[in-house]
Amino acid sequence: MSELKYPDDRRYHAEHLWAKQAADGSWVIGITDFAQDQLGEVIFIDLPEAGAHFKQGISCAEIESAKVVSPAIVPLSGAVVEVNAALNDTPELVNSDPYGQGWLIRIKADDPNEATITAAQYKAQVEA
C-alpha cells in the first residue's frame, strides 16, 4: 500500500478535514488521505447549500461509502461560498484526489486565526 500523504501547505483538524486558503482569501475544505482510505470507495456525498454556516467541529456533509456513513467535520467556522458540484456525479474524486479535485466546499472563514493543527501534528495523531 502506498503511504498516505499530508501536504504541509494547508491546515488540519483532528476530525480528518483540511483547509487551504485560496487566492481570493476564501478557504477550500476537504477530507484527508487518511479519511478517504478509512472510508473506502465513496459512493455518495450529501453536500450543504451555499450560504449555510457551520461552526468549527460541526458536520457540514455526509460522506457515504458502502461500508459507512461519515460526517465531514469542518475545520474552520464559516459560511459556504461554493460546493464542489463535480462530486454529485463523481464522488470517487474524494478517493482519487482528496487534496485537489476531491475538495468538498469553499467557505468564507469567520476567523482565519481559529485554532487548527499542522500537517505534522495531524500525521502524528493518525499514526499514533
Partner 1 sequence: MSITLYTAPNCLRCKIVKEFLAKRGQGYTAYDFKEDKDIFNNYYRANRSSIYRNPEGVEFPIFDDGNVIKQGTGEILAYLLSGRVLESCVTRSELLHGWISGLNVSACPAGQEENFSTLIRVLAKGGLTVQLRSDGRRSDLLKTILDEGTVSRMVLDIVAPSRLYPTVAGGPIDLEDLNRSISLTRSHADHLIRIVVSAYAGEGGAMTRITPAEAGEAAQMVLDACGNRMLPVFVEAAQNAGLEPLEGQALLPYRSKVRNVLVKAEIRKPEAH
The residues that touch partner 1, with contacts defined as CB under 8 A, are 41, 43-44, 64-69, 91-92
* C-beta of 37 vs 92, nearer to partner 1: 92
* C-beta of 42 vs 74, nearer to partner 1: 42
Q: Which residue shows C-alpha cell 469553499?
A: 106
Q: Which residues pair with 19 in a beta bridge?
A: 11, 29
* C-beta of 19 vs 72, nearer to partner 1: 72
Q: What is the largest CA-CA distance in the chain?
A: 39
Query: In whole angstroms, how close is the CB of 99 to partner 1 at the nearest point?
Result: 22
* C-beta of 7 vs 40, nearer to partner 1: 40
Taking the C-alpha atoms of residue 14 and residue 79, their distance in angstroms, rounded to an integer, is 20
Query: In whole angstroms, how close is the CB of 46 to partner 1 at the nearest point?
Result: 9
Query: In whole angstroms, how close is the CB of 101 to partner 1 at the nearest point?
Result: 17
Taking the C-alpha atoms of residue 13 and residue 23, their distance in angstroms, rounded to an integer, is 21
**Strand (E) or helix (H) holding 104:** none
Query: In whole angstroms, how close is the CB of 65 to partner 1 at the nearest point?
Result: 7
Is the sign of the CA dihedral 74, 51, 107, 95 positive or negative? Answer: positive
